[in-house]
Amino acid sequence: MDEFLREFAPMLAEGLLDTLYMTLFSTFLAYVLGLPVGVLLVVTDKDGLKPHAALNRVLGIVVNILRSIPFLILLIAVIPFTRFVVGTTIGSSATVVPLVIAAAPFIARLVESSLKEIDRGAIEAATAMGASPWQIVYKVLLPEARPSLILGAAISVTTILSYSAMAGIVGGGGLGDIAIRYGYYRYRTNVMLVTVAILVIVVQIFQEVGAKAAKWGDKRL
C-alpha cells in the first residue's frame, strides 16, 4: 500500500487537478455559449417573448446536429480545429475544445427546459406591467428558474466530467488518461480502481453541492 501510494499518489493528484481543471473550465465555457442559446431557444419559440421562427429553427437544428454526434467521434473529428485553437491536440487544454463543443448544445437544451417550466402567468404579469422582453429574461425568467438552472448545472458538470475521462483515449490528460494508460494498457487494475473511486467521489460532491445550492436558492416552495 505504501509503495503503491509512493508510486502513484503524485500522479493521481495531478490527474485529479487536470480533471477538475478540464471539467470546470469546460463547463464554464460551455455555459458562456449554451446559456444564451438556451435563452434564445425559449425567447424565439412560437409562444415565446419574441417569436422568430427562422432563428428558432436554425438554432434547434444546430443544437440537434451537435448533440447527435457521439462524443468519441466528435473528439477525433475536431482535432484539426483543436490544433488551430490550442496549438496542440494532447493534454487537458486540448480536451477543453471538444468538451465545450459537446457540452454547449446539451446545456442549451437543459437551460431551455428549465426556462420552459416557468409559469406563463408570471411572464404575462411582467408583460402587462410594461416590461420589455429582455427585462423579463433578466428579472423574471432567469431568477425564477434559478433552482432548476442550478440542478441543470450539476448534471452538466457530472456529464462533462465523464466525457473528460473519455478523452483519455486520445491522450487527453486527467484521471481518464491515467485509468486507460495504467489500468488498461499496463494491466494495473488497482490504479484503475483508485481512479474510478476518485471519480465517483468527485461526482458525489458535485451533485451534492448542486442539490444544496438549488434548494438554498429556492424561495418558491
Partner 1 sequence: MLLTVEKLNKAYDGLEVLRNIDLSVEKGEVIVVIGPSGCGKSTLLRCINGLETIRSGSISLNGELLNRPKTDWSSVRQKIGMVFQSYDLFGHLTVMENLLLAPMKVRHEDRKTARIRAEALLERVGLGDKSRAYPRQLSGGQKQRAAIVRALMMEPEIMLFDEVTAALDPEMVREVLDVILELARDGMTMIIVTHEMQFAKAVADRVVFIDGGEIVEQNTPELFFTNPDTERAKRFLNIFQFDTPK
43 contact partners, CB below 8 Å, separation of at least 6: 49, 50, 133, 137
Supply the minimum distance, in Å, between the C-beta of residue 131 and partner 1. Answer: 5
Listing DSSP states for 158-194 in one string gives: HHHHHHHHHGGGGT--HHHHHIIIIIIIS--HHHHHH
Residue 28 · residue 157 · CB < 8 Å: no
Query: Of 81, 143, 204, 215, which lies in the binding site for partner 1, with binding defined by CB under 8 A?
Result: 143
Query: Of 61, 124, 197, 208, which lies in the binding site for partner 1, with binding defined by CB under 8 A?
Result: 124
Supply the minimum distance, in Å, between the C-beta of residue 52 and partner 1. Answer: 16
Which is nearer to partner 1, 94 or 145 (by Cβ)? 145
Give the contact letters, 191-220, x = binds to partner 1 (CB under 8 A), - = no: ----------------------------xx
Record the cell numbers describing residue 116, joined without a space: 420552459
Supply the minimum distance, in Å, between the C-beta of residue 129 and partner 1. Answer: 4
DSSP run (H or E) holding 118: none
How far, in Å, CA of 135 to CA of 126, rounded? 9
119 in contact with partner 1 (CB under 8 A):
yes
10 in contact with partner 1 (CB under 8 A):
no
190 in contact with partner 1 (CB under 8 A):
no
Query: Of 139, 186, 212, 215, which lies in the binding site for partner 1, with binding defined by CB under 8 A?
Result: 139
Supply the minimum distance, in Å, between the C-beta of residue 176 and partner 1. Answer: 38
Residue 169 · residue 179 · CB < 8 Å: no
46 in contact with partner 1 (CB under 8 A):
no
53 in contact with partner 1 (CB under 8 A):
no
How far, in Å, CA of 151 to CA of 15, rounded? 26
DSSP run (H or E) holding 217: none
- Residue numbers of the site for partner 1 (CB under 8 A)? 119, 121-122, 124-132, 135, 139-140, 143-144, 146, 219-221
